[in-house]
DNA sequence: AGACTTTGTTAGCATAGCTAACTATATTCT
DNA sequence: AGAATATAGTTAGCTATGCTAACAAAGTCT
C-alpha cells in the first residue's frame, strides 16, 4: 500500500515540476522569437530549415514527421523556403519523392539566426554563478532525456 | 588576460547550454501542442486565457504585454475567446479600457487542458529516479530565474 | 476649447496549422 | 500485362495568429 490513487494522478511534486517546465518553455521561446524575426523568415520555416541544416537532406514526408506537421503544411513551408532560395528540391530514383536540401545561403542564414538567439540566451545565463551554470548544463542533458520519452 | 575575444563571443559552454535549452524548449512544446488541440482552442487563445485565469483580470493592453503580442493581435484573440464564452469584457471607470476576465467555463476548460498537458509531461518525468526528479525541480526554479533576466 | 495622449478596434497582408480531394508514380495481385 | 491498391506531394479552402497602418473614442493638459 504505497499509493492508492493510481488513476493518472501522478505525484503532486511531479505535476508541479511539469507545470513549471511547461510554462518556462513557453516564455523562453516567446522571448527568443523576437530575435528570430530579425531574420525575416517565419518560425516554421526557420525550424524546418534547421532540421535540414543539422540533420541533412530529407524527403518532404520525413521533414513533416520531424516537424510534427502534416504534409500539406510542410509542402507550403518548403515552397516558401525554396522561393527565397534557402533550400533546393532535387529529384530522386523514386519519382514521387523529392530530396530537400539546404542551400549555402540557407545554411548561412540559419547559423546567423541561431547565433543571435543563442547568444541572447547565453547572455542571460552569464549572470548565474559558475556552479549554477554547471547545474544548468547537467539539467539540460536530463531534459533531453525526458523529451525522448515524451 | 583571461579572455581576448570579447565581442559577443560568450563562453563556449554557455553557448552550448543555451543551444540545448533552446532546442529542448522547442521540442517540448511541439509534443505538448498535440494535447492542446484536444481542447479545440488555439494556442494563443489558450495562453491568453491562462494569463487571465492564473493572473486575474487584466486590460487588453496588459494582456498583450504579458503575452508579448501587439494590441491588434490580442484584440482578435480576445474576440475569439469571448465569442465562445470563455472570457467576458467588462466596462471600467476609464471608458477606454476594458477589464477582461475569465468566465467559469473558461476557467474549467483551461484547467482541463492544463491537466492533460502537464500529466503527459509528468508521466515522462516518472521514469526518472527520485534524485533526478529532485534535480529537475531545482532546475525549473533556476530556469525561471534566468527567464526573468531575458 | 483645442491639442495631445492613451486605449482599443478595424482593415489588410503574410505565415502556419488543418482536412479533403486530386495527381502522379510505385507496387501488388491476379 | 493490366487492374487495383498504396504512397508521396500538391492544391484548394478554412481557421488562427502574427504584423503595420489608419482610425475612433475617451482622457488629460494647457
The residue lying closest to nucleotide C10, measuring its CA against C1', is B72
Per-residue pLDDT tens, chain A, 150 aa: give them: 444 444 445 577 777 888 888 878 877 887 777 777 777 889 899 999 999 999 999 999 999 999 999 999 999 999 999 999 999 999 999 999 999 999 999 999 988 887 887 788 888 888 888 888 888 888 888 888 877 777
Tell me what pLDDT residue B25 has: 82
Nearest-nucleotide field for B79 (CA, C1'): C9
Please report residues of B whose CB lies closer than 8 A to that of A125: 14, 17-18, 146
**Cα angle, residue A31 at apex, residues B48 and A111 outer, rounded to 5°:** 135
Instruction: Give SS3 for B42.
Output: coil
Contact of B103 with B86, CB cutoff 8 Å: yes
Distances (CA, A) of B79 to B38, B49, B51, B82: 21, 12, 16, 5
Tell me what pLDDT residue A4 has: 47
Nearest-nucleotide field for A48 (CA, C1'): C16
Distance, CA of B127 to CA of B133 (rounded, Å): 9
φ, ψ for residue A57, nearest 5 deg: -60, 145
Within 7 A of a protein CB, which nucleotides of strand C? 6-12, 15-21, 24-27
Residue A41 Cβ under 7 A from any strand D atom: no
Q: Is the pTM value of this prediction over 0.95?
A: no
Distance, CA of B51 to CA of A59 (rounded, Å): 39
Examine the pLDDT at B9 and tell me if it is beyond 60: no
Amino acid at each position: 500500500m504505497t499509493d492508492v490513487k493510481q488513476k493518472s494522478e501522478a505525484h503532486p511534486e511531479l505535476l508541479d515540476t511539469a507545470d513549471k517546465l511547461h510554462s518556462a518553455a513557453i516564455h523562453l521561446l516567446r522571448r527568443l522569437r523576437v530575435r528570430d524575426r530579425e531574420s525575416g523568415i517565419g518560425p516554421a520555416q526557420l525550424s524546418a530549415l534547421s532540421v535540414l541544416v543539422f540533420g541533412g537532406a530529407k524527403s518532404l514526408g520525413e521533414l513533416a514527421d520531424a516537424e510534427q506537421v502534416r504534409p500539406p503544411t510542410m509542402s507550403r513551408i518548403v515552397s516558401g523556403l525554396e522561393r527565397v532560395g534557402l533550400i533546393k528540391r532535387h529529384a530522386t530514383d523514386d519519382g514521387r519523392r523529392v530530396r530537400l536540401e539546404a542551400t549555402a545561403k540557407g545554411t548561412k542564414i540559419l547559423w546567423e539566426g541561431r547565433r543571435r538567439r543563442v547568444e541572447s540566451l547565453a547572455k542571460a545565463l552569464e549572470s548565474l554563478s559558475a556552479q549554477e551554470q554547471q547545474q544548468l548544463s547537467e539539467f539540460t542533458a536530463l531534459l533531453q532525456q525526458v523529451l525522448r520519452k515524451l
